[in-house]
Structure 1
Amino acid sequence: MCETGTKLDGKVAIVTGGSSGVGYEAAKNLARRGARVIIASRNETKLKLARDKLQEETGNNDIGYKTMDLGSFKSVRNFVADTTNTENRLDILINNAGAVGLPDVLTEDGLNLTMQVNYFGTFLLTYLLIPFLRKSPPSRIINGSAGSMYIGSVDFEHWNDIGRYSFIESLSNSKLAITLFNVELSKRLNSDEVTANSYDPFVVPDTDVLNQIPSGIRDLADFFIRLVGQPKEEVGAQIAYLAAAPEMKNVTGKHYKFCTDWFNHWLASDDELRRILWDVSKELVKISADEDWETNAIH
């Protein structure tokens, strides 16, 4: 049900977390369709190896990489500046990068590390790239969420507290934020020129997403995931379907799982909550007057 023969020649796609796991498989699928694919993550060594392997496996030499640390707003802004200065267009943004079990610390930007890596960094990246995406319509944004969002909570006063949440709670809160952000983004764009949809990869074996959690819990989780999980190749195909399928051209604000329009979190329909989240997020990532395309569009 995720099959589409769509070619993407001439299109440019960014895949965060594209050096391994699900992100790598999504990048590979898009590259096989002829897209120029840029993979992004923190580790330049892993990125180079992944780039070379992708070129070898797909026969597509138009694959690049750029380093970016979502835990640093300076790094995200540098990535956006480099991208807009060196690329002619951007058609697809896949926000796949995420982590669980990160240290319970504040970043250099004063935010909880898990919340920043999984949500605030993605918010900033996406917000800054919207004007560039609008130059290549119709373009698509695909935001990675997770089933853990259903047990997440929204607490604007304490989301970034240290010593308050378990690693599961931090993950859940950040993924709920991504899902609410996706819906609000689709409403604010209000256009078929740039669509935004989220996806739940379910659980996937043979990735490094569990590397940061305690070994006992990791072994148990790994056993469960291997028992019921989806192969990462299938999840990569599902993400690529959302990014490439013609029938997804005018679809926006939806949440997908197994390539199916899935039921979203009940808070996704709360207009006021989403608005507050948007405003708080813009404040915390320090969107400047020059970066604020909403205000600039008005004036």
Structure 2
Amino acid sequence: MWSILVYLIGISAKIIVSFILFCVLFLIGCRFWLEPVKGVCKCKTKLHGKIALITGGNSGIGFETAKDLARRGAKVIIASRDVKKSEEAVANIIATTGNELVEHRYLNLANKDSIETFAKDFNKEFDRLDILVNNAGIGGIKKQNTENGIDMLMQINYVGPFTLTYLLLDKLIASKPSRIVNVSSYLHKMAKFDFENLSDVFTYSGQTGSLYSQSIRYGNAKLCDILWTVALAKKLPYGVTANVLHPGLVKTNIFNNFSPHIKRVLFLIIDLLYKTPIEGAQTIIHLCVSPKLENETGCYYMDCKKVSPSKAAEDEDLAERLWHKTLSLIKQ
């Protein structure tokens, strides 16, 4: 009887170990299927005398981008609505890079008045803008609208950055050569809206509670980011470039509430699948500083390489119609 019990325990242990091994190998396979490499920006470009503006630069990939550009000598402006967190980020960057030309300015991309006030003050105070990184964004939030009736997720991820960039264009053009870098996502391939009725994309009316519907809304905004970049690139004068990127699957603080023991196991697996913020920032940095991209514009990048986005994202007619639709929306 005892020998049978030992035998069954042994079989069970082998099944469990085999299952765990299968899961780990499956996750590793998914990682390399989604992102076969982790691109690294290797260029040593210095940015002394340049001014870089980074939205959402107080945490994650935005923070790592801000720190890298500061280390290269740029004057860095972090634009975000969390004042305390931004002040801590500024102090950290100054301490680690030795560059004291780092500061925070309040900006709430969910509020049109805040964007207009920020742009007005920036244009008045600064004599140039060499690099604009539209990094700030938001993920899974429940459906809610702005005062102008725009889905908040769409406002923060697309309409807000569009408005900010539009209001800073004269400064960017006057500072050329200059660069605009927009952060999109691989999830733009999940976008789903009526391309013939673009009003719907701003006020998504489908189911709002499920993870699927939130992914659709997020994908819609990120597709708009690519389309907008394509349209913008064609309107910019020579010397001003606009490119867009997928930063990768970046590890965040979403797992902070787990117990330390569980986190150790999770992070062992997650490190095989996701990028750290430093790794996730590499393509942004590459688009900001690589001398090889001085005249490259209107392109989509991943892991520091130009790649093809979804078919819809390459639709130049759709990009143009979206541009004019958004422009009429922000001018209301």
| TM-score, with structure 1 as normaliser | 0.87
What secondary structure, in the 3-state scheme, does the structure 2 residue paired with 1:39 have? strand
**Mapped partners of 2:268, 2:240: distance in 1:** 39
Match of 2:135 in 1: 96
What secondary structure, in the 3-state scheme, does the structure 1 residue paired with 2:174 have? coil
Match of 2:249 in 1: 203
Quick one: structure 1 residues 80 and 258, their matched pair in 2 at CA, closer, same or farther if it must change by over 3 Å?
same
What secondary structure, in the 3-state scheme, does the structure 1 residue paired with 2:143 have? coil
Shift of 1:114: 0.2
Match of 1:161 in 2: 204
Pairing of 1:251-262 with structure 2 (within 5 A): 251-262=296-307
What secondary structure, in the 3-state scheme, does the structure 2 residue paired with 1:56 have? helix
Pairing of 1:1-80 with structure 2 (within 5 A): 1-80=40-119
Shift of 1:161: 3.3
Structure 1 unmatched runs, 5+: 212-220, 288-299
**Mapped partners of 1:263, 1:225: distance in 2:** 26
Residue 179 in structure 1 maps to residue 222 in structure 2: no
Match of 2:289 in 1: 244
What secondary structure, in the 3-state scheme, does the structure 2 residue paired with 1:89 have? coil
**Mapped partners of 1:130, 1:84: distance in 2:** 10
Whether the aligned pair in 1 keeps the contact of 2:190 and 2:215 (CA below 8 Å) is: no
Quick one: structure 1 residues 240 and 173, their matched pair in 2 at CA, closer, same or farther if it must change by over 3 Å?
same
- Residues 182-213 of structure 1: per-residue CA shift (max 9 Å, x gap): 11110111x332100001011100356x99xx
Q: 2:175 aligns with which of 111, 136, 142?
A: 136
Q: 2:315 aligns with which of 270, 277, 285?
A: 270
- Residues 225-265 of structure 1: per-residue CA shift (max 9 Å, x gap): 54411121122232112101111111001110000111122
**Mapped partners of 2:270, 2:153: distance in 1:** 22
Shift of 1:177: 0.4
Quick one: structure 1 residues 162 and 153, their matched pair in 2 at CA, closer, same or farther if it must change by over 3 Å?
closer
**Structure 2 residue identity aligned to 1:197:** N
Shift of 1:163: 5.1
**Mapped partners of 1:150, 1:117: distance in 2:** 19
Higher helix share: 2
**Mapped partners of 1:154, 1:91: distance in 2:** 35
Quick one: structure 1 residues 12 and 251, their matched pair in 2 at CA, closer, same or farther if it must change by over 3 Å?
same
Shift of 1:145: 0.4
**Mapped partners of 2:304, 2:78: distance in 1:** 23
Residue 281 in structure 1 maps to residue 323 in structure 2: no
What secondary structure, in the 3-state scheme, does the structure 2 residue paired with 1:250 have? coil
Structure 2 unmatched runs, 5+: 1-39, 257-265
Whether the aligned pair in 2 keeps the contact of 1:29 and 1:237 (CA below 8 Å) is: no
> Which deviates the most, 199-208 or 131-140?
199-208
- Residues 25-51 of structure 1: per-residue CA shift (max 9 Å, x gap): 000000000000001111111111111
Quick one: structure 1 residues 87 and 224, their matched pair in 2 at CA, closer, same or farther if it must change by over 3 Å?
farther
Quick one: structure 1 residues 82 and 222, their matched pair in 2 at CA, closer, same or farther if it must change by over 3 Å?
farther
| TM-score, with structure 2 as normaliser | 0.79
**Structure 2 residue identity aligned to 1:120:** V
Pairing of 1:98-113 with structure 2 (within 5 A): 98-113=137-152
Match of 1:297 in 2: none
Question: Identity over the aligned pairs, expressed in percent?
Answer: 38
**Mapped partners of 2:68, 2:141: distance in 1:** 29
Pairing of 1:222-233 with structure 2 (within 5 A): 226-233=271-278
**Structure 2 residue identity aligned to 1:260:** K
Quick one: structure 1 residues 69 and 222, their matched pair in 2 at CA, closer, same or farther if it must change by over 3 Å?
farther
**Mapped partners of 1:225, 1:280: distance in 2:** 40
**Mapped partners of 2:308, 2:328: distance in 1:** 30
Whether the aligned pair in 2 keeps the contact of 1:106 and 1:162 (CA below 8 Å) is: no
**Mapped partners of 1:131, 1:168: distance in 2:** 35
**Structure 1 residue identity aligned to 2:238:** D
Whether the aligned pair in 2 keeps the contact of 1:12 and 1:35 (CA below 8 Å) is: yes
Shift of 1:109: 2.2
Match of 1:218 in 2: none
Shift of 1:53: 0.8
